[in-house]
Amino acid sequence: MEHISYTPRGVCSRHIDIDVENGIIRAVTFSGGCSGNTQGVARLLVGMTVEEAISRLSDIHCGMKNTSCPDQVAVALRKYLEEKTA
């Protein structure tokens, strides 16, 4: 199991933790943010591939912000893939 620890930028959540096993997301935890929304996003991601999550969550905006908590998950996962292949 691999653990991703990410500090998001431009959103209400303060931290995102993601566990990945064999390319599948096993757990997601947000610190801060809109509790109901982040819990919902976290539960929907469990069992999804990293690539599918990036595809579905990238470029989601929150209000007038050019990012969102889901988009920041995609950023974290993209960074994880880049570091893994480097």
Encode pLDDT of 13-58 as tens digits: 999 999 999 999 999 999 999 999 999 999 999 999 999 999 999 9
How would you list the strands of the sheet with 2-6, edge to edge?
A: 2-6, 13-21, 24-32
The pLDDT of residue 64: 94
The maximal CA–CA distance of the chain, rounded, in angstroms, is 36
What's the number of domains the chain is made of? 1
Examine the pLDDT at 76 and tell me if it is beyond 90: yes
Given a cut of 90, is residue 86 above it in pLDDT? no
pLDDT of residue 37: 95
The pLDDT of residue 39 = 97
Is the pTM higher than 0.75? Answer: yes
Domain that holds residue 57: 2-85
18: domain CATH number?
3.90.1010.10
Helix (H, G, I), strand (E, B) or coil at 35: helix
d(CA 29, CA 65): 22
Tokens 């908590």 sit on residue:
69
